[in-house]
């Protein structure tokens, strides 16, 4: 791909984003909205927290996405006895050479699946979240930069709470999006069952049908292009007004920080690209508002008792905050 400064890069970027989406959909059936949201996070250079029960294809999604750009994939199963060094790496003494050598942890990848992140203690969670923020790992005082692009897709089970450690709000704020993945429709589930059981022994995750479209360097060029998309001042003001409204909305005890507005604009740019445009509209902001803000708000206990959710509150808020009309 050409660099973002060339006149035809916009058309190339649109084709590349559409091709990546189509290739991932070959492996993950019936989760088009989830694919789009994960692609938005990748193009925005952000990280994703996925909430959903096991067996919905989260590992398959990350592996398929990594294959589309020939990226390195790694997976960490978070457990209560997982140590920070198990994530980042450590040094050890080699008796043969009589020297200390560094063994890099699984975090040194392009796409990292942190499975059930809330099962690890806070110290281990913090080790990963620090890497997400700094894009580097410090082992025995020596910094090791991560090779970009780098994206973490962390998962947590919303049902099983025994033996888990809740992510603090300050750490949740580091995720660009929080995605909720649900069961597919009956038709999609039927198609999935037929695909997985067709001439295949066992239930091994199969991404053979996914083609490699671009290289990691091209992903970086796409990210630079998305970051350069012009956002009208009225659109960015709309994002700020939505964010500020979460702080004074009835029943919300803690609203989104300024990172919420930043996340809205970053994600809206990527949404515009995968929607086939090189400009951002208020509808792009609306489309990403739920995943960008749902983990940055805390509801009052009485709303939770009544069965309210952050999504319900956000939808009501979006209906009240006036969008730019021209």
Q: Where are the domains of the chain?
A: 1-226, 229-326
Burial class (CB in 10 A: 0-12, 13-18, 19+), 265: buried
Cβ contacts of 52 within 8 Å, gap of 6 or more? 58, 155, 157, 158, 180, 181, 182
Cβ contacts of 237 within 8 Å, gap of 6 or more? 324
Burial class (CB in 10 A: 0-12, 13-18, 19+), 300: middle
pLDDT value of residue 240? 97
SS3 214: coil
C-alpha closest to that of 218 among 38, 68, 63: 68
SS3 254: strand
Tell which CATH architecture fits domain 1-226. 3-Layer(aba) Sandwich (3.40)
pLDDT value of residue 161? 60
pLDDT value of residue 139? 82
- pLDDT tens, N- to C-terminus, the chain (326 residues): 555 555 578 888 889 999 999 999 888 888 889 999 999 999 999 999 998 877 778 888 888 999 999 999 999 999 889 998 899 888 887 777 777 788 888 999 999 999 988 888 888 888 887 788 888 888 877 888 998 999 999 988 776 666 577 777 777 888 999 998 888 788 888 887 887 777 665 556 678 888 999 999 999 999 999 999 989 999 999 999 999 999 999 888 988 999 999 999 999 999 999 998 889 999 999 999 999 999 999 888 887 777 788 999 999 999 999 999 86
With beta carbons less than 8 A apart as the criterion, state whether 74 and 112 touch.
Answer: yes
Cα distances (Å, whole numbers) of residue 1 to 18, 98, 213, 215: 15, 46, 11, 9
CA atoms within 13 A on the CB side of 28: 26
With beta carbons less than 8 A apart as the criterion, state whether 66 and 27 touch.
Answer: no
Q: How many CB atoms lie within 10 A of CB 78?
A: 23
Burial class (CB in 10 A: 0-12, 13-18, 19+), 105: buried
Asked, colleague to colleague, whether 1-226 and 229-326 share their fold, the answer is no
What does pTM read for this prediction?
0.89
CATH topology of domain 229-326: Helicase, Ruva Protein; domain 3 (1.10.8)
Alpha-carbon distance of 291 to 49, in angstroms, equals: 9
């Amino acid at each position: 791909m050409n660099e973002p400064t060339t006149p035809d890069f916009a058309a190339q970027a649109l084709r590349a984003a559409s091709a990546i989406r189509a290739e991932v959909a070959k492996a993950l059936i019936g989760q088009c909205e989830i694919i789009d949201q994960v692609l938005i996070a990748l193009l925005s250079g952000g990280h994703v927290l996925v909430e959903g029960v096991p067996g919905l294809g989260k590992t398959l999604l990350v592996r398929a996405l990594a294959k589309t750009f020939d990226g390195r994939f790694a997976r960490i199963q978070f457990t209560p006895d997982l140590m920070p060094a198990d994530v980042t790496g450590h040094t050890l003494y080699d008796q043969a050479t009589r020297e200390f050598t560094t063994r890099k942890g699984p975090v040194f990848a392009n796409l990292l699946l942190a499975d059930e992140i809330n099962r690890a203690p806070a110290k281990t969670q913090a080790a990963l979240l620090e890497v997400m923020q700094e894009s580097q790992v410090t082992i025995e005082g020596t910094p090791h930069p991560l090779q970009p692009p780098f994206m973490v897709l962390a998962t947590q089970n919303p049902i099983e709470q025994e033996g888990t450690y809740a992510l603090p709000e300050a750490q949740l704020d580091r995720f660009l999006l929080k995605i909720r993945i649900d069961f597919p429709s009956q038709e999609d589930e039927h198609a999935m069952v037929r695909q997985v059981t067709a001439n295949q022994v066992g239930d091994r995750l199969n991404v053979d049908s996914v083609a490699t479209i671009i290289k990691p360097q091209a992903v970086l060029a796409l990210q630079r292009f998305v970051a350069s998309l012009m956002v009208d001042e009225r659109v960015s003001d709309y994002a700020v007004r939505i964010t500020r409204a979460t702080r004074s909305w009835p029943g919300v005890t803690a609203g989104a920080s300024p990172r919420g507005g930043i996340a809205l604009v970053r994600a809206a740019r990527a949404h515009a690209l995968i929607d086939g445009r090189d400009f951002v509209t208020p509808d792009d902001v609306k489309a990403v508002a739920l995943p960008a803000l749902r983990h940055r708000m805390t509801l009052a206990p009485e709303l939770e008792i009544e069965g309210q959710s952050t999504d319900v509150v956000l939808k009501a808020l979006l209906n009240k905050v006036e969008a730019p009309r021209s």
